[in-house]
């Protein structure tokens, strides 16, 4: 049977697991095509208006799979860490799709819920494996292989690889040792994986930064321990796993002086980013004072304005280092002139 996997949302985090799991159960997997305007338009038209760009895009990718696959896989990620959650829209994702997209083939919905107990996270996989007609032994074997594929992928990310290149180019890219850019330094790209690694909706921000001589650093490049340590100072536990990753990795990069600037990428209407971005920005202004900008993406984003902002940001980084801070504006020196490089 051909199982369709939408190339959207947490595909960028869990694809190796999903692919291996289904393939070990002797099913073929097929990916939806990469995001294009057509995919985006289909999503925008079928999804409720109030949803955020990535959820609309997911709808588009599901529609793209209709006719290409016998069944479509929709993960329901409730919780990936005990006591934590992901965005509510991820929990209700299968229902949103079912009620918005017409003519759907049968769906395969796997619940991932580690909220009460981390051991139970894969119970959903077992149930679905059984429903697909596999024996217990085969399912357990598939789960082990899937977990180890996932581990290998995550280890590579920690070594500084670009997730997008790893997923797209596979082994060839994995041979390459991650570079440090052409010497201008590193810029933290903080945002949800589905914005950072979807080249269409982020208008290729990674290669744009690389072309200007900067090496992007992603939240996925920072280990869980460092993230937890950076978040330990918060007055209340942050209950969104991805919120924690964004804020924690950002703070970790700032504390270690790993980056010369932060670009926070958010999608319009993102509930989690509205809080995480705010906190990161305030903490940065208080203690680190590294140049910071927020870029909000939605289905109307225009390339020109986006490029202008990115250029302005990198110009600021460079002029700040050279002579920007010797020209006071309105009689005042606005920069601290501590060279971040």
Residues that bind another protein (CB under 8 A): 47-48, 50-51, 55, 78, 83-89, 91-92, 95-96, 99-100, 234-236, 238-240, 266, 268-275, 277-279, 282, 285-286, 296
Contact 300, 85 (CB under 8 A): no
Name which of 67 and 233 has its Cβ closer to another protein: 233
In the bound state with another protein, the residue whose beta carbon lies nearer, of 92 and 105, is 92
| Calpha distance 48→54 (Å, rounded) | 12
Minimum separation from the CB atom of position 311 to another protein (A): 23
Tokens representing 209?
């930064």
Shortest distance in whole angstroms from residue 10 CB to another protein: 15
Nearer to another protein, 256 or 282 (CB): 282
For residues 290, 296, 301, 304, the Cα torsion angle rounded to the nearest 10 degrees is -10
Q: Closest by alpha carbon to 289, among 254, 318, 263?
A: 254
CA distance 154 to 16: 10
Tell the smallest beta-carbon distance from residue 24 to another protein (Å).
Answer: 28
Closest approach of another protein to the CB of residue 135, in Å: 28
Nearer to another protein, 113 or 314 (CB): 113
Rounded to a whole number of angstroms, the minimum distance from the CB of residue 102 to another protein is 11
Residues 12, 33: Cα–Cα separation, whole Å: 14
**Nearest one of 88, 86, 90, 126 to 239, comparing CA atoms:** 86
Which lies closer to another protein via its Cβ, residue 73 or residue 240?
Answer: 240
State the minimum distance, in angstroms, from the CB of residue 275 to another protein: 5
Distance between CA atoms of 9 and 75, rounded to whole angstroms? 10
Give the residue with the Cβ less far from another protein, 96 or 259.
Answer: 96
d(CA 32, CA 34): 7
Nearer to another protein, 21 or 240 (CB): 240
Instruction: Report CA 93 to chain centroid distance, whole Å.
Output: 17
Dihedral, CA atoms, 300, 30, 219, 316, nearest 10 degrees? -40
Smallest separation (angstroms) from another protein to the CB of 208: 24
């Amino acid at each position: 049977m051909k199982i369709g996997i939408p190339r959207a949302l947490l595909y960028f985090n869990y694809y190796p697991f999903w692919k291996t799991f289904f393939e070990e159960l002797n099913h073929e997997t097929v990916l939806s095509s990469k995001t294009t305007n057509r995919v985006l338009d289909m999503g925008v038209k079928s999804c409720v208006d109030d949803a955020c760009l990535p959820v609309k895009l997911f709808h588009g990718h599901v529609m793209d799979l209709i006719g290409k696959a016998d069944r479509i896989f929709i993960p329901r990620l409730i919780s990936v860490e005990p006591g934590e959650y992901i965005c509510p829209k991820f929990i209700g994702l299968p229902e949103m799709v079912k009620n918005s997209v017409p003519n759907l083939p049968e769906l395969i919905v796997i619940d991932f819920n580690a909220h009460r107990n981390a051991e139970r996270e894969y119970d959903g996989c077992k149930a679905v494996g059984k429903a697909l007609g596999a024996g217990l032994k085969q399912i357990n074997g598939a789960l082990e292989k899937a977990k180890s594929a996932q581990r290998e992928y995550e280890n590579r990310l920690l070594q500084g690889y670009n997730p997008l290149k790893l997923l797209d180019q596979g082994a060839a890219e994995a041979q390459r040792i991650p570079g440090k850019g052409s010497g201008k330094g590193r810029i933290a790209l903080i945002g949800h994986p589905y914005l950072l690694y979807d080249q269409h909706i982020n208008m290729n921000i990674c290669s744009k930064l690389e072309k200007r001589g900067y090496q992007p650093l992603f939240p996925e490049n920072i280990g869980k321990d460092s993230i937890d340590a950076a978040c330990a100072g918060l007055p209340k536990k942050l209950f969104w796993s991805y919120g924690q990753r964004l804020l924690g990795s950002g703070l970790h990069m700032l504390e270690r002086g790993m980056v010369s600037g932060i670009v926070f990428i958010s999608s319009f209407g993102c509930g989690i980013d509205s809080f995480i971005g705010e906190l990161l920005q305030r903490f940065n202004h208080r203690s680190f004072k590294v140049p910071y900008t927020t870029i909000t993406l939605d289905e109307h984003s225009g390339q020109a304005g986006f490029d202008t902002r990115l250029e302005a940001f990198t110009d600021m980084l460079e002029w700040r280092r050279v002579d920007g801070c010797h020209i006071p504006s309105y009689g005042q020196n606005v920069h601290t002139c501590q060279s971040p490089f």
